Structure 1
Amino acid sequence: LAAADHDLKPLKASGLTHEQHLAATAREVAGFLRGLQGH
Protein backbone atom coordinates (compact mmCIF):
# COMPACT_ATOMS: atom_id res chain seq x y z
CA LEU A 1 0.00 0.00 0.00
CA ALA A 2 2.07 2.79 -1.34
CA ALA A 3 -0.21 5.67 -0.36
CA ALA A 4 -1.64 4.88 3.08
CA ASP A 5 -1.17 6.31 6.53
CA HIS A 6 -0.87 4.28 9.75
CA ASP A 7 -4.55 3.27 9.79
CA LEU A 8 -4.51 2.25 6.10
CA LYS A 9 -6.50 5.28 4.97
CA PRO A 10 -5.22 6.24 1.52
CA LEU A 11 -4.02 9.71 0.69
CA LYS A 12 -6.69 11.66 -1.20
CA ALA A 13 -4.34 12.08 -4.15
CA SER A 14 -4.15 8.28 -4.57
CA GLY A 15 -7.75 8.07 -5.80
CA LEU A 16 -8.32 4.95 -3.69
CA THR A 17 -10.91 4.43 -0.97
CA HIS A 18 -10.33 3.19 2.56
CA GLU A 19 -12.36 0.08 1.68
CA GLN A 20 -10.09 -0.63 -1.31
CA HIS A 21 -7.03 -0.42 0.93
CA LEU A 22 -8.59 -2.72 3.53
CA ALA A 23 -9.48 -5.25 0.83
CA ALA A 24 -5.95 -5.12 -0.61
CA THR A 25 -4.51 -5.61 2.87
CA ALA A 26 -6.74 -8.63 3.47
CA ARG A 27 -5.64 -10.16 0.15
CA GLU A 28 -1.96 -9.63 0.98
CA VAL A 29 -2.29 -11.11 4.47
CA ALA A 30 -4.22 -14.11 3.13
CA GLY A 31 -1.53 -14.72 0.50
CA PHE A 32 1.19 -14.49 3.13
CA LEU A 33 -0.60 -16.97 5.39
CA ARG A 34 -1.15 -19.39 2.49
CA GLY A 35 2.58 -19.24 1.86
CA LEU A 36 3.26 -20.30 5.45
CA GLN A 37 1.22 -23.50 5.13
CA GLY A 38 3.98 -25.28 3.26
CA HIS A 39 6.69 -24.48 5.82
Structure 2
Amino acid sequence: AVTAMVQQAMQYIDETPDLETRIELIKTLNNVSAGK
Protein backbone atom coordinates (compact mmCIF):
# COMPACT_ATOMS: atom_id res chain seq x y z
CA ALA A 1 0.00 0.00 0.00
CA VAL A 2 2.84 2.37 0.86
CA THR A 3 4.58 1.64 -2.43
CA ALA A 4 1.46 2.45 -4.43
CA MET A 5 0.96 5.68 -2.50
CA VAL A 6 4.56 6.73 -3.07
CA GLN A 7 4.31 5.97 -6.79
CA GLN A 8 1.13 8.06 -6.95
CA ALA A 9 2.84 10.93 -5.16
CA MET A 10 5.82 10.72 -7.53
CA GLN A 11 3.46 11.72 -10.34
CA TYR A 12 2.58 14.87 -8.40
CA ILE A 13 6.23 15.93 -8.15
CA ASP A 14 6.20 16.95 -11.82
CA GLU A 15 3.14 19.10 -11.18
CA THR A 16 4.53 21.06 -8.23
CA PRO A 17 4.59 24.81 -8.88
CA ASP A 18 8.07 25.54 -7.52
CA LEU A 19 11.28 23.94 -6.34
CA GLU A 20 10.57 24.52 -2.65
CA THR A 21 7.33 22.54 -2.81
CA ARG A 22 9.02 19.82 -4.84
CA ILE A 23 11.81 19.46 -2.27
CA GLU A 24 9.32 19.28 0.61
CA LEU A 25 7.32 16.61 -1.20
CA ILE A 26 10.44 14.56 -1.90
CA LYS A 27 11.56 14.84 1.74
CA THR A 28 8.15 13.73 2.93
CA LEU A 29 8.12 10.78 0.54
CA ASN A 30 11.59 9.86 1.70
CA ASN A 31 10.50 9.87 5.34
CA VAL A 32 7.39 7.82 4.59
CA SER A 33 9.24 5.21 2.57
CA ALA A 34 12.03 5.01 5.16
CA GLY A 35 9.49 4.32 7.89
CA LYS A 36 7.63 1.50 6.15
TM range, normalised to the smaller chain?
Answer: 0.5 to 0.7
TM-score (norm. length: structure 1): 0.53
TM-score (norm. length: structure 2): 0.56
Q: Whose relative contact order is higher, 1 or 2, with alpha carbons under 8 Å and at least 6 apart?
A: 2
1:21, 1:31 → 2: CA distance? 15
Deviation of 1:15 after TM superposition, in Å, equals 6.0
Q: How big is the alpha-carbon RMSD for the aligned residues of Structure 1 and Structure 2?
A: 1.5
Among all aligned residue pairs of Structure 1 and Structure 2, give the percentage whose two residues are the same amino acid.
4
Structure exhibiting the larger radius of gyration computed from Cα positions: 1
Q: Which runs of 5+ in 2 are unaligned?
A: 1-12
Higher helix share: 2
Aligned length: 24
